Amino acid sequence: MSYWTLIYRFAWIMLVILLITGSAFIFLPRYQEFTELQRREQILQGEIRQKEDTLRSLRIKQERFRNDADFVERIAHDIGMARPNEVIYRYPDEDSGSARP
């Protein structure tokens, strides 16, 4: 093998290595950005599902407010409202720590 053939092969090998390294430097940040965007998309999809569940629950409650008088009265009592001449008794929860010995 001649000296020039050896230099020629070495130059081609170095060129291939240089192209692979350059490609890695170009595409690696893009790949990392892509994986970060995929992770963020999964997080946002989870938040969307959670908000859809909350919205579904609120729509069910809204429908109950329209059609269920007992539900409306129970909610009104829970927030402290009462009908005229009606007395609501509240008992302290035992778990809240407000009970006296």
Task: Express each pLDDT in 40-72 by its tens digit.
Answer: 999 999 999 999 999 999 999 999 989 998 988
Domain that holds residue 67: 7-78
First to last CA, the chain: 101
- Please check whether residue 99 lies inside any domain of the structure: no
Task: Express each pLDDT in 17-26 by its tens digit.
Answer: 999 998 888 8
Whether residue 75 has pLDDT greater than 50 = yes
Domains in the chain: how many in total? Answer: 1
* In contact, 47 and 53? CB cutoff 8 Å: no
- Please check whether residue 93 lies inside any domain of the structure: no
Rounded to two decimals, the pTM is 0.53
pLDDT at 101 (0 to 100) = 42
CA distance 91 to 99: 10
- Please check whether residue 25 lies inside any domain of the structure: yes
- Please check whether residue 24 lies inside any domain of the structure: yes
Helix, strand, coil shares of the chain as percentages rounded to 5? Answer: 75, 0, 25
CA distance 24 to 30: 10
